[in-house]
Amino acid sequence: MSGNLTFDDLKTSVASGEVDTVLACIVDMQGRLMGKRFLAQHFIDGAYEETHCCNYLLATDLEMATPEGYASTSWESGYGDYVMKPDLSTLRKTPWLDGTVMVLCDVLDHHTHQDIPHSPRAMLKKQIARLTGMGFDAIMATELEFFLFEKSFDEIAKSGFRDLTPISAYNEDYHILQTTKEEHIMRPIRNHLYAAGIPVEGTKGEAEAGQEELNIKYAEAMDTADNHTIAKHAIKEIAWQQGHAVTFLPKWDHTKVGSSSHVHQSLWSGGKPAFYDENDELGMSELMKNYMAGLLKYAPDYMYFLAPYVNSYKRFQKGSFAPTRTIWSVDNRTAGFRLCSAGSKSVRVECRIGGSDLNPYLAMAAQLAAGIKGIEDHLELDPPTVGDAYTGDTGMIPQTLRDSMATLKDSAMLRAAFGDDVVDHYTRAAEWELEEFDRVVTDWEIARGFERA
């Protein structure tokens, strides 16, 4: 795992007074960190073994509501406890918070002490175990895009989220001058994350005013998901400390490009890249072709895990560098899946569909499940698309959350991989998101029809 502190290190730091607080965190359905702050001495005296949280934390929404309809918990069942089991291998410094360290926790059943099946870390852990049984390791990486704003979270909230002015005035893709102006935020992000044990490679300006991208080195799947989640959390806190807001909303303005979270993936065996075949024209092994065929065939099934909100689907627009089709191509940023480093040992597939709002554990677990199914069924990979992938009309990405909810609910592949209870749980999450959206009157409707309807 990717922590950079041992438990003995923590004891030493507590005894010296260097550390006084331990953040014990679970990952919720939305990919956020939830948990408790412990007095560090209490943590090392006993809380390191386990603590507890309300089980509504894995049956809620972005607003922390308590929707009806979940089988796992409810008002009728009394909203009992889950066990938070600290994974001490994830202990790490959090240098942007004074005297504080963090540990990630697995979520266990209060009575059986078994993993809660719909817990994001458990879902990814299950697919990793399947691959291990097949003799493979999943090596993955995520790219994370986001927007920085002139004003703070509080100032923007008080404006009703109408005073949204990016920190820069023009497209800053690879732009050194403009990103220099943002270094009071981005420099501490890079340095603090690296000091926290996150293998940061760098940052760059992205293709819109105020848009940045963070790149973290590839790692084993669970480490990659942990790194992504901690980094996203830290970016929000560090931007807040500097008096600025940041958003991972995929499409905060219809006139601006969206923010993505591309997922790079490959399988290794015995320390060697199982996706590579030096005798293939593109360097792709038969295993890789089967895996990619699974990704493509089942993309509609797992689309919810790449695009979990109503807003997520606003990204998928022609000519925006966000894809519109679940097809593959060679080093082509217009396709949903891009073959990277063709002909080399670094050959891998990049899924370009997911937005910056995805939960990395769920997105990665679902894609691994699809790839495994492709391998098991020896699926054949269609030839790559050549040219502008926006021009075709096959393999279209589901256009709405409602469409993705339907394909999730009906997915035999995901039900076999995760279990019926898990699929039903996340189907209910999608359904609730739609219920909440459908009852709201939007600004667009009022402006369009107030006088003219």
HEC readout, the chain: CCCCCCHHHHHHHHHHCCCCEEEEEEECCCCCEEEEEEEHHHHHHHHCCCEEEEHHHHCCCCCCCCCCCCCCCCCCCCCCEEEEEECHHHCEECCCCCCEEEEEEEEEECCCCCECCCCHHHHHHHHHHHHHHHCCEEEEEEEEEEEEECCCHHHHHHCCCCCCCECCCCCCCCCHHHHHCCHHHHHHHHHHHHHCCCCEEEEEECCCCCEEEEEECCEEHHHHHHHHHHHHHHHHHHHHHCCCCEECCCCCCCCCCCCECCEEEEEEECCEECCECCCCCCCECHHHHHHHHHHHHCHHHHHHHHCCCCHHHHHCCCCCCCCCECCEEECCCCCCEEEECCCCCCCEEEECCCECCCCHHHHHHHHHHHHHHHHHCCCCCCCCECCCHHHCCCCECCCCHHHHHHHHHCCHHHHHHHCHHHHHHHHHHHHHHHHHHHCCCCHHHHHHHCCCC
- Give me the mean pLDDT over the 278-298 stretch: 97
> What pLDDT does 78 receive?
83
Cα(381)–Cα(296) distance, integer angstroms: 9
| 45 pLDDT above the threshold of 80 | yes
Residue 207: its pLDDT value, please?
87
Q: What gap in Å lies between CA 116 and CA 45, rounded to an integer?
A: 26
What is the predicted pLDDT for the residue at 109? 94
127-136, 231-240, 322-331: least confident range: 322-331
pTM summary value: 0.96
Q: Is the pLDDT of residue 1 over 60?
A: no
The pLDDT score that the predictor gives to residue 321 is 84
Lowest mean pLDDT: which of 317-321, 410-414, 445-449?
A: 317-321
Using pLDDT thresholds of 50, 70 and 90, give the confidence band for residue 164: very high
**What confidence score (pLDDT) does residue 67 get?**
92
- The whole-angstrom separation of Cα 86 and Cα 77 is 26
The residue count for the chain: 453
Looking at residue 75, what is its pLDDT? 86
**Is residue 208 within 8 Å of 167, Cβ to Cβ?**
no
As given in the structure block, the two tokens for residue 231 are 């980094």
Going by CATH, does the domain composed of 126-447 fall within 3.50.50.60? no
Mean pLDDT of 247-252: 96
Evaluate if residue 201 carries a pLDDT over 80.
yes
Q: Which residue has the higher pLDDT, 103 or 207?
A: 103
pLDDT for residue 332 is more than 70? yes
Confidence of residue 320 (pLDDT cuts 50, 70, 90): confident
Between 61-70, 285-294, 319-328, 360-369, the lowest mean confidence (pLDDT) is in: 319-328
List Cβ neighbours of 129 (8 Å cut-off, separation of 6 or more): none
Mean pLDDT of the residues in the chain: 95
In the predicted model, what is the mean pLDDT of residues 209-228? Answer: 96
Share of the chain above pLDDT 90, in %: 87
pLDDT at 300: 96
The CA distance from 258 to 252, in Å, is 7
Distance CA 409, CA 301 (A): 8
For the segment 98-126, what is each residue's pLDDT rounded down to a tens digit? 999 999 999 999 999 999 999 999 999 99
pLDDT at 353 over 70: yes
Vertex 24, ends 125 and 248: CA angle to 5°? 70
Band (333; pLDDT cuts 50, 70, 90): confident
- HSE-up of residue 382 (Cα within 13 Å, Cβ side): 14
pLDDT, position 82: 95
Q: 7-116 architecture in CATH?
A: Roll (3.10)
State the span(s) of the chain assigned CATH 3.30.590.10.
Answer: 126-447
Q: Residues of CATH 3.10.20.70 domain(s) within the chain?
A: 7-116
Partners of residue 148 on adjacent β-strands: 246
| pLDDT > 70: percent of the chain | 100
With a cut of 70, say whether residue 162 has pLDDT above it: yes
CA–CA separation, 128 and 267 (whole Å):
11
